Structure formats: structure tokens, C-alpha cells
Amino acid sequence: MNYQIIIPAHNEEAFIGLTLQSLLEQTVLPKNVMVINDNSTDNSKTIIDSFCFEYPGLFSSVFVKSDAKHLPGSKVINAFNFGLNFINQDYDIIVKADADLIFPPNYFETIIKHFQSDDQIGMVGGFAYIEKNGDWILENLTDKDHIRGAFKAYRKATFEQIGGLKPAMGWDTVDELLCKFYNWKVVTDESLKVKHLKPTGANYNKTARYKQGEAFYSLGYGFFITAIASLKLAMRKGKLLLFIDYIKGFWKAKSAKKPLLVTREQAQFIRNYRWKKMKEKLM
């Protein structure tokens, strides 16, 4: 199975070289790594171009001048979707990756083995680790059955059936929920430890916090599931006051009657699935 990687990058001069080097050292190399240089104003272009020049068959890059604010979801996925226009469509696995990661050398060899083991596996990923006091610890922001948005690998048929990635916050949850809606399996592998060099949300402001509540609304959660999810996320981040921001974001989106990222049928499935998961944990 061949895989292609698209990496949206905006001002990542401190990390992008480490990310590309870790991809170069994979035991099974990708067919292509497409870096979407999203209007970087630092030294990112020079670093990206050096890899493209030295390994022209492996690395390529496109510059896009985006004026969008750096908010979670929309900017990065718009850049990713732009990159889809430039890759070879003859792939088995498509990967969305961030530009601040170090992958272990066997990462994608293992990912491929998972896909080969079961035709119904639609998504596979490892776990993110961040550095704290000299140690690399699990970035424990989500349940262990969730693949972090920083590194998502999709079977081509799955990617096409879920309609690709949605340019909105919540995209990396709706993709998995739609996988389940269409009866695809989502697999996480705890042996695959990815170093996340920049903690999630490090550059986001209060507007982005409201976006989290808006994302819960756009997934069709409804108020009670949103309240539970908001409290859980705020506690995991160790900032309980975020709960208020999330709820405000939910009500702002609901009052504005913003469109959902899913159909009514899918939203009902998602609510039922979330209630089922919560009951399982309580039991």
C-alpha cells in the first residue's frame, strides 16, 4: 500500500525540518510528502525548499497566500484541501500531518500493516507525546480511541465516503464519527509514540475557545452532551473556566442557527453513539 502525506505549514521554521527528517527516516517511505506553505513569513520556505531540492521525488511544496486568521480547523484544513489538488490520486492511504511532529521510524510501516490486516479499517493513528521536565509524556486531551488531528491516516475509500475533511473546528471528531456511521473501524496503536513539539492550542486565543463550543454544536451534540464534553475537556486541560467559554460558544452558534457539519440522520446517530459511550463508561 502506498501512502501520501499532506502537511499544512504556517511559520514552522523551528519544527518543520525535524518533521521532514523523521519522514525521510521511515522504514517504508511515502510516495510523496506535499508541504503546503500557508503564507509563512519566517524561514519555513528555505527549510522546505532544501528538502525538495535534495529529495525531489519524495518532497514537494506549494505556496498559498491565505489571509485567514490562525484559528483551529478552518485554516489548516483549507490548506490541506488545497494540497489535494496537487498530489497523485493513485494512492491507497492519505495522511494529514502537522508540521511540528517527530514520527518514530516504524510509524508508517506499522500503519500500513494495520490497514492490510482488515479491509474494514478506515483510519489509523498513534498517540501524541509532549515534553515536560525533560520527559516525553502522553498529551492526554482525548480518549484513547480517538486519533489526534495532528496525524490522521485514512484509507482512500473511507476518505472519499466521509466526504474528505471539513474546514471547521471539530473536523477531527466528525471524521471519526462519520467513519462509524458508515461502518468503518478506527484503530489507535499505543506503541506508536509521536513527539508533538508544540502543545495543542499554544497559539490560539479566546476566540478559539468559543470555537470549541461551536464545534460541539456543529457535530449535532445538543446541549447536554455538549455540557458533559465541555466539562471533561476543561478538566483535562486543567482549566475549569474553559467550560464557560465552551458553553458560550455553543449558545452563540445555536442562536445564530449555524449549519451543522453533518446531516440530521448523522447527527441523530452521533447523539446515540455518544450516549452509548457515556453509559458504557458509567457501567
Residue-wise pLDDT for 200-243, tens only, equals 655 555 667 788 899 999 999 999 999 999 999 899 888 898 99
111 touches 93 (CB < 8 A): yes
Superfamily covering domain 3-196: Spore Coat Polysaccharide Biosynthesis Protein SpsA; Chain A (3.90.550.10)
2 touches 92 (CB < 8 A): yes
Residue 283: band (very low, low, confident or very high) from pLDDT cuts 50, 70, 90: confident
- Give me 4's grid cell: 501520501
Report the pLDDT value the prediction gives residue 205, as an integer from 0 to 100: 56
Spatial distance between the Cα atoms of 122 and 153, rounded to a whole number of angstroms:
8
* Model confidence pLDDT, tens digit, residues 38-84: 999 999 999 999 999 999 999 999 999 876 565 567 899 999 999 99
Whether the model pTM is above 0.85:
yes
**Cα dihedral sign, 63-64-66-72:** negative
Closest CA to 245 of 199, 281, 206, 282: 206
57 touches 31 (CB < 8 A): no
- Give me 82's grid cell: 488545497
* Model confidence pLDDT, tens digit, residues 2-30: 999 999 999 999 999 999 999 999 999 99
In terms of Cβ atoms closer than 10 Å to its own Cβ (0-12, 13-18, 19+), residue 83 is buried
Report the amino acid identity of residue 11: N
Q: How many CB atoms are closer than 10 A to CB 105?
A: 13
Instruction: Sketch the domain layout of the chain as residue ranges.
Output: 3-196, 206-282
